[in-house]
A and B are shown apart, each in its own frame.
Chain A
Amino acid sequence: AQSVSQHNHHVILSEAASLELGCNYSYGGTVNLFWYVQYPGQHLQLLLKYFSGDPLVKGIKGFEAEFIKSKFSFNLRKPSVQWSDTAEYFCAVGSGGYQKVTFGIGTKLQVIP
């Protein structure tokens, strides 16, 4: 069975600071990797995803993530955060439609103006 670990549960940053949220997964086979964002009072929305190819994936709103297979990691980054990035971020892993999709516990990001 696959599992996902998000190391930072609550992150507080000032505007313009750089962001990196950690995500590690465990699964022996081919994986599809995702980051979702949940703005206050809303449902989860897809931020970016990795299926294959270039391990550096770019998503919406200036976010990117890098898949490092040897480290089983898929960390989310943004060079300069804005107040509007205040949200909860979830990492998820799928196994290509063969098993359930598994989510991490989430990381709450608070950006201070």
Chain B
Amino acid sequence: EAQVTQNPRYLITVTGKKLTVTCSQNMNHEYMSWYRQDPGLGLRQIYYSMNVEVTDKGDVPEGYKVSRKEKRNFPLILESPSPNQTSLYFCASSPTLGVDTDTQYFGPGTRLTVL
């Protein structure tokens, strides 16, 4: 089944404790992206990647890191989480060629709470 998976789905952590949220897609998509969703603020892009080893900042990159060493994986790293990073996070992927270009396929979301 074509899908985007994220792990963990729920995470409660404490300020300053490094964490990684994994994202993996099995559709051979070139483009991958991370978003955070907060009440009243909609969907905001954190980082995106047009292909392997190519990443770029989105609208709210501060406090986050990403890497794209393989096409299928795009982990989101919080080196020193803070309470203002408490949010719902979505990973998405899309092809950059063909009839499905730019069509985003979303993962199920990761609800992160930083105490």
Contact = CB atoms under 8 A, between A and B. Distances in A.
Interface stretch (A11-19, A57-65, A91-99): A91-99
Chain A CB count within 10 A is highest, among B30, B45, B102, for B102
B16 to A, nearest CB: 29
Q: Interface size for chain A: under 10, 10 to 19, 20 to 34, or 35 or more residues?
A: 20 to 34
Given A90-B42, A100-B45, A100-B56, A32 B102 contact: yes
Contact of B33 (A97, A100, A104): A100
Contacts of A43: 90, 106-109
A104 B42 CA distance: 8
Interface stretch (A45-53, A67-75, A76-84): A45-53
Contacts, number: 64
B58 interface: yes
Nearest to B95: A97
A103 B90 contact: no
B101 A94 contact: yes
Given A43-B90, A43-B106, A44-B90, A97 B42 contact: no
A106 B43 contact: yes
Of B30, B31, B43, B99, which is in contact with the most chain A CB atoms at under 10 Å from its CB? B43
Of B56, B90, B106, B107, the most chain A CB neighbours within 10 A belong to B106
Nearest to B39: A108
